[in-house]
Amino acid sequence: MNKIILYLGLLSLGFVSCKSASVSRSNVGRHTGRESATVSVSERDKDVLKKYASKLEVQVNQLKTPELYRIIDQWIGVPYRNGGTSKKGVDCSGFVGIVYKAITNRILPRTTQDLRVAISVTNRLQEGDLVFFNYNGKTNSHVGIYLQNGKFVHASSVGGVIVSDLNSAHYKKVFSVGGPLKIGRLNQLIN
């Protein structure tokens, strides 16, 4: 039954756009009641963590949420598609929602504007926090997930799902705000 509900939920995400969809804010933090489980780090996960530690220029032990990097690795290179929520194409808020759903089993708001309302703004970004950007004169029109060392992952309209650097001239110029969800940081929400 849970698989059917999950499938229908993901299917419904495919019919909405990052910029135009609306999901009730009351969905933030909804949990299906699945029990928490201790996750061990497999050999494949160790390889993924080494890969991302190198890419982020940090030590492997600094990566606090192995599940995050496992999911990212499965989506890197997926092309951008406005309103997309599949490996055929995904948009920025769709990607964020997919990652959080896979790791925490929580459904996030579907639009960047609603995601922005769901965070607590901070100057000290941590792994899993959401980061927002202003494009084409629109405030908070793009969203990604902060990783480590100034790097973040997002579904870019130019490169698809990629890791980018907040400290690059481009992203410094368009960065707006960032922070954790008001209901808790990613590593606190893992089911």
Measured distance CA(62)–CA(44) in Å, rounded: 18
Vertex 47: Cα angle to 156 and 58 (nearest 5):
65
DSSP 57-99: TS-GGG---HHHHHHHHHHTTPPB-TT-EETTEE-HHHHHHHH
Which residue bears the tokens 């708001």? Answer: 109
Known catalytic residue at 170: no
Question: 37 — phi, psi (to 5°)?
Answer: -135, 145
Measured distance CA(62)–CA(84) in Å, rounded: 32
Known catalytic residue at 31: no
Catalytic residue selected from 18, 31, 142, 170 = 142
Measured distance CA(163)–CA(153) in Å, rounded: 4
**Contact status, residue 121 vs residue 182, Cβ threshold 8 Å:** no
Measured distance CA(152)–CA(21) in Å, rounded: 24
Indicate which residues carry an active-site annotation: 92, 142, 154
